[in-house]
Amino acid sequence: MKCPHCDTGIHEVLQRGFLFTSPSSEEWTEEHLTCPECGRVTIYLEGVTVQRTNQHTTTVPRFMAYPPHKSLRPLPSEVPDPYKRDFDEAAAVLPLSPKASAALSRRNLQAVLRDKALTKQKDLFDQIEEVVATGKLPSHIADELHAVRNIGNFAAHEIKSKVTGAIVDVEAGEAEWNLDVLESLFDFYFVELRIPVMWAGNSARCGQASERSDAGCFLH
């Protein structure tokens, strides 16, 4: 995950504590972690109703209580809509609904793999397998994509792969991880793969380039 204070990538190690039980038998618990980089704390809250059969039902899904609003993650200017718009929405809604954030990110991820990696498979699980098998991705991004399936537990929740925009329960850290992987893919497809083509004022050499500068033209 990324620290909501300093935006540094950190390993999510949460400490859990019990807060109180309300008169309606609703237990409130908290989880927190301290960023090893900036030293600031992030706190999550969750409400669970304890029934007479000793079964637990989550009544208030875990949400980020502090900081109250995670700032949007800035993206490179090269990332166009709708990818940027959907990413910004997923980042903005994360503190309020990790389930909604994860759904937006899965749909965005599927679109990037379809449009930029030109995958042919229909389901996200198979799209990831297809693009990794090409060997065209850096190894760290391939590993991150595999982790999307593992952290999201696609094996037990096939709907996440088949209907990527479905709002369903998420695993701890899943929504944050989806955003991290999207950032890696954006950097790879929209920034690193821009190819400079040298030209000396000859527009014909640039062809259909989208941008030009004194150094050359850049093809997406």
The DSSP call for residue 154 is T
What is residue 67's predicted lDDT score, i.e. its pLDDT? 80
**Same domain flag for 179 and 114:** yes
Residues 19-76: tens digit of each pLDDT: 877 776 778 888 999 999 989 898 988 877 766 566 666 567 777 788 866 556 788 8
> Containing domain of residue 162, as a range?
72-193
pLDDT above 70 for 211: no
Cβ atoms within 10 Å, residue 123:
16
What is residue 55's predicted lDDT score, i.e. its pLDDT? 64
Which letter, b or e, does each residue of 133-144 get, where b requires 16 or more Cβ atoms within 10 Å of its Cβ? eeeebeeebbeb
Residues 6+ apart with CB under 8 A from 44: 14, 30, 31, 32, 62, 63, 64, 65
202 in a structural domain? no
**Average pLDDT score over residue span 169-193:** 92
- Terminal Cα distance for the chain, rounded: 29
Indicate the SS3 state at residue 119: coil
Q: Amino acid identity of 35?
A: C
What is residue 101's predicted lDDT score, i.e. its pLDDT? 92
Percentage, residues of the chain above pLDDT 90: 46
What is residue 139's predicted lDDT score, i.e. its pLDDT? 95
**Same domain flag for 119 and 25:** no
**Average pLDDT score over residue span 84-104:** 89
162 in a structural domain? yes
What is residue 47's predicted lDDT score, i.e. its pLDDT? 79
Query: Model confidence at 198, in pLDDT bands (50, 70, 90)?
Result: very low
Query: Model confidence at 1, in pLDDT bands (50, 70, 90)?
Result: confident
**Average pLDDT score over residue span 16-21:** 80
What is residue 27's predicted lDDT score, i.e. its pLDDT? 81
**Same domain flag for 100 and 120:** yes
Residues 6+ apart with CB under 8 A from 121: 127, 129, 130
Strands (E), the chain: 15-21, 26-34, 41-50, 56-66, 195-197, 211-213, 216-219
- Compute the distance between CA of residue 168 and CA of residue 160 in angstroms, rounded to an integer: 8
How many residues can be counted in the chain? 220
**Same domain flag for 97 and 30:** no
Domain final residue pick, 23, 50, 68: 68
**Same domain flag for 110 and 45:** no
Per the prediction, the chain carries an average pLDDT of 82
Q: Bridge-partner residues for 34, per DSSP?
A: 41
Of 212 and 50, more confident: 50
**Same domain flag for 58 and 124:** no
What is residue 2's predicted lDDT score, i.e. its pLDDT? 80
Structurally, how many domains does the chain consist of?
A: 2
What is residue 208's predicted lDDT score, i.e. its pLDDT? 47
Residues 6+ apart with CB under 8 A from 203: none
